[in-house]
């Protein structure tokens, strides 16, 4: 399993939003939230499995993230481990608690869309 370096993890922890471009739709940028729990980087689709970027990643796994003035190629892996999903949820709530939308990202119906990222 490939890991992100400490600098990248720190930037992803600090940034409020990232932009994602999937390989299937590289010209379309979607702004999303990201959570870093320990050394794991997680994404989750607030729209559940209907989210286009999520469907693209579920089918093809590769995407480009844009944040803090940089571009990062990543590969996404579905998360089914309940402990990892819970860690991601805790981090989403910690990071985005001030937002009125924070609870939407931890609803039961969106938990199956949890993805773990690795650098490519």
CATH class of 6-119: mainly beta
Query: pTM (2 decimals)?
Result: 0.95
**Residue 74 — very low, low, confident or very high, per pLDDT cuts 50/70/90?**
very high
Output the CA–CA distances (angstroms, integers) from residue 79 to 19, 44, 69, 85, in the order listed.
Answer: 21, 10, 28, 7
The domain segmentation of the chain, as residue ranges, is 6-119
Taking the C-alpha atoms of residue 85 and residue 64, their distance in angstroms, rounded to an integer, is: 22
Cα–Cα separations (whole angstroms), residue 95 to 14, 67, 101: 9, 16, 12
The mean pLDDT value for 12-37 works out to: 97
């Amino acid at each position: 399993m490939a890991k992100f370096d400490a600098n990248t993890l720190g930037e992803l922890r600090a940034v409020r939003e990232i932009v994602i471009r999937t390989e299937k739709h590289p010209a379309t940028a979607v702004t999303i939230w990201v959570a870093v729990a320990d050394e794991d980087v997680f994404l989750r689709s607030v729209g559940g499995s209907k989210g286009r970027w999520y469907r693209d990643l579920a089918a093809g796994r590769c995407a480009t993230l844009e944040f803090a003035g940089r571009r990062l190629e990543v590969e996404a892996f579905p998360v089914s481990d309940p402990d990892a999903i819970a860690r991601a949820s805790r981090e989403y709530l910690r990071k985005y608690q001030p937002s009125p939308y924070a609870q939407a990202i931890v609803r039961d119906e969106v938990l199956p869309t949890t993805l773990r990222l690795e650098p490519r």
